[in-house]
Amino acid sequence: MTETKTLLAALKGEAQAVPPVWMMRQAGRYLPEYRETRARAGSFLELCYAPELAAEVTLQPIRRYGFDAAILFADILLVPQALGADLWFVTGEGPRLSTIESAADMARLRPAAEVHETLAPVYETLRILKGALPAETTLIGFAGAPWTVATYMIAGRGTPDQAPARRLMYGQPEVFDALIDRITEATAEYLIAQVDAGAEVVKLFDSWAGALPGPMFRRYCIEPALRILARLHEAHPGVPVIGFPRGAGGNYATYARETGVEGLALDTSVDPAWAARELSPLACLQGNLDPLLMVLGGDPLERGTRTLLEAFAGKPYIFNLGHGITPDADPAHVEQMLKVIRG
């Protein structure tokens, strides 16, 4: 029954006496049970494409902590792979992809409508989770936003300033625009299929939004999001969306106003008092505890948690981190945080 799901109620604009809580990367390397399951899978990518194991790691933090939401275990770079890019992970360094540098590279990509065969195991993971989660737990699907996914596809890896993507954007705008369009279409297809399979909320991660030059923010962050949301809501009216334009700064308000997302996730840099005053009228806010506090624990963690609870008291709000929990976090500190939130 959706009325028992506090996260959905918050996204509808209803303030909760105790805010719903989940954490980005809550199924991850800080948990020993995750590390054991990943070892069974053989590699990170094999884990993403093994529905029973991907569902298991999604459920692990729910069993341990009773979070109010479970987020699908997958990766934003599965969409490039489904489009035909080569994808692999280097231990200790992260993802690597074949690169898009020209119209010839674009021509080798698959049409957006053909991503589903590759991504079918992800949909099966969602179907498993739909039947396995507690009745009060919301199931969140997700995808990377087109600009962020494009930065990886162009550079072949993460970069500090996204210079390769900006270089293509300025130097070969027709190739760059074609890539953004292809990712936008594929992402809409992917999120619609996630909701078909059981996702109740979807989150759009624009992790490198802050690297967009100011004049390009609307064109390459907001406009692709609008196209994705239009397709999603045409197929599934009423499904809430959480947007995360990380690093957007003052553009957070513009993003919320122009996209109409129901939820707005805040990165660690955003001042909670400012957000409560300026952004709360626009959307349900989510965030934005510093992940470092999950490593430190103790008084700093309690103070940081209480600061957020006080700033957003009486407003629609979802407690979360300002970015993903890190592998060196202490699982006991998650319990400490939850005790402060839930009393």
CATH assignment at residue 144: 3.20.20.210
Annotated catalytic residue, options 68, 75, 206, 267 = 75
- Gap between the Cα atoms of 219 and 212, Å rounded: 10
- The pLDDT profile of the chain, 343 residues, written as one tens digit per residue, is 345 799 999 999 999 999 999 999 999 999 999 999 999 999 999 999 999 999 999 999 999 999 999 999 999 999 999 999 999 998 888 899 999 999 999 999 999 999 999 999 999 999 999 999 999 999 999 999 999 999 999 999 999 999 999 999 999 999 999 999 999 999 999 999 999 999 999 999 999 999 999 999 999 999 999 999 999 999 999 999 999 999 999 999 999 999 999 999 999 999 999 999 999 999 999 999 999 999 999 999 999 999 999 999 999 999 999 999 999 999 999 999 999 999 9
Map residue 241 onto helix, strand or coil.
Answer: strand
Instruction: Check residue 17 and report its DSSP letter.
Output: S
Phi, psi (deg, nearest 5) at residue 87: -135, 130
Is 152 tagged catalytic? yes
Write the DSSP assignment of 81-128 as a string of letters.
HHTT--EEEETTTEEEE----SHHHHHTSPPGGG-HHHHHHHHHHHHH
Q: Which two tokens stand for residue 320?
A: 């979360």
**313 Cβ neighbours under 8 A, 6+ residues apart:** none
Predicted confidence at residue 94, as pLDDT, reads 87
Annotated catalytic residue, options 25, 166, 182, 246 = 25
**244 Cβ neighbours under 8 A, 6+ residues apart:** 203, 204, 205, 206, 207, 264, 265, 267
Global pTM? 0.97
For the chain, the first-to-last Cα distance in angstroms comes to 25
Burial of 270 (0-12, 13-18, 19+ CB in 10 A): buried
Annotated catalytic residue, options 38, 64, 127, 157 = 38
What beta strand segments (E) does the chain contain? Answer: 69-71, 87-90, 94-97, 138-144, 201-206, 241-245, 263-265, 284-289, 317-321
159, 219 Cβ separation under 8 angstroms: no
Provide the residue range defining the domain that includes 94.
2-342
**195 Cβ neighbours under 8 A, 6+ residues apart:** 141, 202, 232, 235, 236, 239
285, 316 Cβ separation under 8 angstroms: yes
Annotated catalytic residue, options 34, 152, 190, 220 = 152
Predicted confidence at residue 91, as pLDDT, reads 81
Is 75 tagged catalytic? yes
- Gap between the Cα atoms of 55 and 51, Å rounded: 6
Beta bridge partners of 70: 139
Instruction: Check residue 21 and report its DSSP letter.
Output: B
Predicted confidence at residue 1, as pLDDT, reads 39
Count other C-beta atoms under 10 Å from residue 88's C-beta: 12
The distance between the two most distant Cα atoms of the chain, rounded to a whole number of Å, is: 58
Q: Which two tokens stand for residue 156?
A: 């072949």
Is 177 tagged catalytic? no
Map residue 40 onto helix, strand or coil.
Answer: helix
Beta bridge partners of 141: 202
- How many CA atoms lie within 13 Å of 137's alpha carbon, on the beta-carbon side? 20
- Gap between the Cα atoms of 4 and 14, Å rounded: 13
| Amino acid symbol at 279 | L
Is 40 tagged catalytic? no
> Total structural domains in the chain?
1
Q: Report which of 141, 162, 115, 135 is spatially closest to residue 62, judged by C-alpha positions.
A: 135
Predicted confidence at residue 270, as pLDDT, reads 98
Is 38 tagged catalytic? yes
